[in-house]
């Protein structure tokens, strides 16, 4: 005669919860969700730069007139994620989010020799990776300037106090 062993329901429920939590944590890992992938480790490292680092690039790098034109051509077609009635080139303010994509574009132009189309593609991908679900395009007008960019905000206005 076969004996049946019964597990206590609470033990099974605990194991099921642990599995679900583990799966949820695994599926929320955003390290592999980056849409921009480069074989070049330098470009990969640049795309993994923190917002602080990108803002530092914006403050540090001065563009020549020719380089500024590349930046303008690259960023003008991109709606600013925080104020989509403006372009990424002419964002309505100097918020930390804008400073970050300006810094990224400056590095791409000055240190990597990227042209306008390449800069545009990388900045669009960086914005998409920052908030994969997209931006509402109105955080500047709805009081979300001091909300983290990943929560559809501007990450603050002060480059010395980045909201993340």
pTM, two decimals, is 0.76
| CA dihedral of residues 95, 161, 47, 150 (deg, nearest 10) | -70
Per-residue confidence at 19, pLDDT binned at 50, 70, 90?
very low
Q: What is the pLDDT of residues 26-38, one digit of tens each?
A: 333 344 455 556 6
Query: Can you spell out the DSSP letters for 29-51?
Result: --TT--S---SSHHHHHHHT--H
Both tokens assigned to 162 = 């980045």
């Amino acid at each position: 005669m076969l004996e049946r062993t019964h597990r206590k329901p609470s033990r099974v429920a605990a194991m099921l919860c642990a599995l679900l939590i583990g799966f949820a944590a695994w599926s929320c890992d955003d390290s592999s969700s980056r849409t921009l992938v480069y074989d070049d480790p330098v470009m990969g490292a640049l795309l993994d730069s923190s917002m602080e680092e990108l803002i530092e690039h914006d403050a540090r790098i001065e563009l020549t007139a020719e380089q500024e034109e590349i930046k303008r051509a690259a960023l003008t077609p991109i709606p600013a994620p925080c104020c989509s009635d403006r372009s990424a080139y002419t964002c309505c303010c100097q918020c930390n989010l804008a400073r970050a994509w300006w810094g990224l574009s400056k590095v791409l132009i000055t240190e990597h020799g990227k042209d306008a189309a390449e800069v545009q593609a990388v900045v669009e991908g960086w914005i998409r990776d920052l908030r994969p679900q997209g931006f509402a395009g109105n955080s500047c007008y709805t009081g979300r300037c001091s909300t983290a960019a990943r929560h559809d905000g501007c990450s603050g206005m002060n480059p010395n106090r980045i909201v993340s």
